[in-house]
C-alpha cells in the first residue's frame, strides 16, 4: 500500500478518534438541560449500570446512556454506585451524577416523615406543622379542598373518579413512611400520598370492588371506620363482615369511631346523649355509611373492607385493658360482655 494512502488513513483515523473523544468529553461534561426541577431518583438494590442509565435517561437526567456507562466503566466506578433515593437535577453533568451515585450521597437534601394509619387530615396537618415541614394549614387547605377543584397533576387519578362532588381527599392520603425534599411543598406531599394510594390499590382489588357493585369511595369510607374500630388484621375482617351485613339488612352501623370523629374525643363508653348527636356522620342515627371517610386507612383496613369475613357474629367490643376484640352473636351476649369488659 502506498505511503501516501497510509498517511491518509492514519490522519483519517486520528480525526475520527479526536472527534469521538471530543463528543464523548462534551457528552459527559454537558448537562441534560439547564432548566427543570430537582428529581427524586431511586436506585434499587442489585440494579445494573445498564438499568440505572436507562432510568436516568427516562427521567431526563442524562442525554446518553452510552456516555454514562462508558464514564462509569472507564473511571472504575460502576461497582461503587450505591442504592438509595437521590436528589438529582438535569443541570448536573454525567461526571457529577456518577460522582454523587458512587459516593452514596443519597437523601442529603431529604427528610423522612411517617404518617400513621388512622390519622385524619387534621392529624397529618398538625404533625407536618409541629415538625416544621410545612407552614400553618398549608397541607389541610389542599387536602380539604373538594376533589373536583383539585389540580392534582398525577398519573392515573381514576381512583378519585367515583367520589361525590362534595368529597375532599380524606381517606386517600395513604399512611406510610415517606422521604421528601426538605423544601417540599404541601402539594408535593399530597401528591406522594395519592400516588402511593394508587400504587397500593391493585387491579385485582379494583376489579373485586367493581364485582361487588361498590365504589372505591365506599370502600375507603368503610375502611376508615374499621381502621379506628379494631386493631388486628384478623379482627378487622370480621368487623368488616359485621358492618357490611348491617348495611345489607338496613341496620345502623352504630360505630363508636364515628362518634369520636364528631366529638373529636375518644371515650371508653359513649353516652345515650352522644348517640343522639345530630350529624350525618352519626351512624347510630343514620343507617348505612357516613357521607365520607373519617380518617386515612392503611392497607390492612382497605383489604378488610374489600375482602370481609362473614361470620355468625353480630356485635363486638374492644377490651380497654388489652385491646382484644370480643365478639358476640346475640344482643344479650353483647350486653353481658359490655358489663364484664367495659367497666
Task: Tell me the pLDDT tens digit for each residue of 237-282.
Answer: 999 999 999 999 999 999 999 999 999 888 777 888 888 899 999 9
Q: Is residue 281 part of a domain?
A: yes
Q: Tell whether 231 and 271 lie within a shared domain.
A: yes
Q: Is residue 333 part of a domain?
A: no
- Please report the beta strands in 39-195, taking only residues with DSSP state E, as ranges in sequence order: 39-43, 84-88, 110-114, 177-181
Q: Is residue 21 part of a domain?
A: yes
Q: Is residue 220 part of a domain?
A: yes
Distance in angstroms (rounded) separating the CA atoms of residues 152 and 161: 13
Q: What is the SS3 assignment for 88?
A: strand
Q: Tell whether 223 and 304 lie within a shared domain.
A: yes
Distance in angstroms (rounded) separating the CA atoms of residues 146 and 163: 10
Q: Tell whether 32 and 81 lie within a shared domain.
A: yes
Of the residues 171, 200, 229, the one at which a domain ends: 200
Looking at residue 9, its pLDDT comes to 55
Of the residues 103, 134, 150, the one at which a domain ends: 103
Distance, CA of 9 to chain centre: 61
Q: Is residue 324 part of a domain?
A: no
Q: Is residue 148 part of a domain?
A: yes
b/e sequence 148-158, b meaning 16+ C-beta within 10 Å:
eebeeeeeebe
Residue with cell 377543584: 149
Q: Tell whether 228 and 260 lie within a shared domain.
A: yes
Distance in angstroms (rounded) separating the CA atoms of residues 235 and 24: 62
Q: Tell whether 45 and 83 lie within a shared domain.
A: yes
Q: Please list, in sequence order, all residues whose beta carbon lies within 8 angstroms of the beta carbon of residue 148, skipping any fewer than 6 positions away.
A: 165
Of the residues 49, 69, 103, the one at which a domain ends: 103
Distance, CA of 70 to chain centre: 36
Q: Please list, in sequence order, all residues whose beta carbon lies within 8 angstroms of the beta carbon of residue 27, skipping any fewer than 6 positions away.
A: 63, 64, 67, 94
Instruction: Using the Cα atoms of residue 257, residue 208, residue 145 and residue 167 in order, give the sign of their dihedral.
Output: negative
Distance in angstroms (rounded) separating the CA atoms of residues 89 and 34: 9
Q: Please list, in sequence order, all residues whose beta carbon lies within 8 angstroms of the beta carbon of residue 140, skipping any fewer than 6 positions away.
A: 121, 122, 124, 125
Q: Tell whether 87 and 126 lie within a shared domain.
A: no
Residues lower than pLDDT 50 in the chain: 13-14, 19-20, 22-24, 156
Looking at residue 24, its pLDDT comes to 47
86 phi, psi to nearest 5 deg: -115, 155
Q: Tell whether 195 and 128 lie within a shared domain.
A: yes
Which helix (H) or strand (E) segment holds residue 328: the answer is: strand 325-328
Q: Which three cell numbers stand for residue 187?
A: 402539594
Looking at residue 12, its pLDDT comes to 52
On whether the pTM is more than 0.85, the answer is no
Among the listed residues 93, 184, 175, 170, the one whose alpha carbon sits nearest the alpha carbon of residue 135: 184
Distance in angstroms (rounded) separating the CA atoms of residues 228 and 304: 13
Q: Is residue 56 part of a domain?
A: yes
Q: Tell whether 31 and 90 lie within a shared domain.
A: yes
Q: Tell whether 169 and 221 lie within a shared domain.
A: no
Q: Tell whether 89 and 16 lie within a shared domain.
A: yes
Distance, CA of 90 to chain centre: 26
Looking at residue 326, its pLDDT comes to 83
CA distances (Å), 28 to each of 14, 73, 86, 214, in order? 21, 13, 19, 54
Domain count, the chain: 3
Q: Tell whether 52 and 123 lie within a shared domain.
A: no
Looking at residue 304, its pLDDT comes to 96
Q: What is the DSSP string of 138-172?
A: HHHHHHTS-GGG-----S-GGGGTTS-TT--STTT
CA distances (Å), 70 to each of 47, 64, 96, 121, 174, in order? 17, 10, 14, 48, 41
Q: Is residue 277 part of a domain?
A: yes
Among the listed residues 172, 167, 289, the one whose alpha carbon sits nearest the alpha carbon of residue 225: 289
Looking at residue 20, its pLDDT comes to 46
Tens digit of each residue's pLDDT (9 = 90 or more) over 198-210: 999 999 999 999 9
Residue 331 burial class via C-beta count within 10 angstroms: exposed 0-12, middle 13-18, buried 19 and up: exposed
Q: Which domain holds residue 90?
A: 3-103
Q: Tell whether 189 and 268 lie within a shared domain.
A: no
Distance in angstroms (rounded) separating the CA atoms of residues 285 and 294: 16
Amino acid at each position: 500500500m502506498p505511503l501516501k494512502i497510509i498517511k491518509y488513513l492514519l490522519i483519517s483515523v486520528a480525526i475520527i478518534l479526536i472527534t469521538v473523544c471530543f463528543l464523548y468529553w462534551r457528552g459527559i461534561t454537558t448537562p441534560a438541560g439547564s432548566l427543570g426541577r430537582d428529581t427524586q431518583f431511586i436506585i434499587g438494590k442489585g440494579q445494573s449500570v445498564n438499568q440505572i442509565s436507562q432510568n436516568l435517561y427516562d427521567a431526563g437526567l442524562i442525554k446518553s446512556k452510552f456516555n454514562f456507562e462508558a464514564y462509569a466503566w472507564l473511571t472504575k466506578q460502576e461497582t461503587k454506585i450505591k442504592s438509595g433515593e437521590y436528589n438529582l437535577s438535569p443541570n448536573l453533568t454525567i461526571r457529577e451524577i456518577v460522582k454523587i451515585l458512587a459516593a452514596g450521597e443519597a437523601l442529603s437534601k431529604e427528610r423522612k416523615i411517617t404518617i400513621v394509619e388512622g390519622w385524619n387530615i387534621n392529624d397529618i396537618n398538625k404533625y407536618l406543622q409541629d415538625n416544621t415541614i410545612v407552614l400553618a394549614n398549608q397541607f389541610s387547605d389542599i387536602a380539604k379542598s373538594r376533589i373536583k377543584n383539585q389540580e392534582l397533576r398525577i398519573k392515573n387519578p381514576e381512583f378519585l373518579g367515583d367520589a361525590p362532588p362534595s368529597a375532599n381527599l380524606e381517606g386517600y392520603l395513604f399512611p406510610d413512611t415517606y422521604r421528601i425534599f426538605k423544601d417540599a411543598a404541601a402539594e408535593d406531599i399530597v401528591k406522594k400520598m395519592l400516588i402511593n394510594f394508587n400504587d397500593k390499590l391493585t387491579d385485582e382489588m379494583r376489579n373485586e370492588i367493581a364485582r361487588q357493585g361498590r365504589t372505591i369511595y365506599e370502600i375507603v369510607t368503610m375502611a376508615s371506620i374499621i381502621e379506628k374500630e379494631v386493631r388486628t388484621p384478623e379482627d378487622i375482617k370480621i368487623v368488616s363482615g359485621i358492618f357490611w351485613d348491617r348495611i345489607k339488612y338496613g341496620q345502623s352501623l352504630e360505630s363508636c369511631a364515628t362518634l369520636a370523629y364528631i366529638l373529636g374525643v375518644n371515650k371508653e363508653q359513649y353516652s345515650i346523649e352522644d348517640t343522639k348527636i345530630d350529624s350525618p356522620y352519626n351512624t347510630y342515627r343514620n343507617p348505612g355509611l357516613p357521607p365520607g371517610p373519617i380518617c386515612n386507612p392503611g392497607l390492612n383496613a382497605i383489604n378488610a373492607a374489600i375482602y370481609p369475613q362473614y361470620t355468625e357474629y353480630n356485635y363486638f367490643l374492644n377490651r380497654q385493658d388489652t385491646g382484644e376484640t370480643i365478639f358476640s352473636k346475640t344482643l344479650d351476649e353483647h350486653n353481658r360482655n359490655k358489663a364484664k369488659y367495659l367497666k
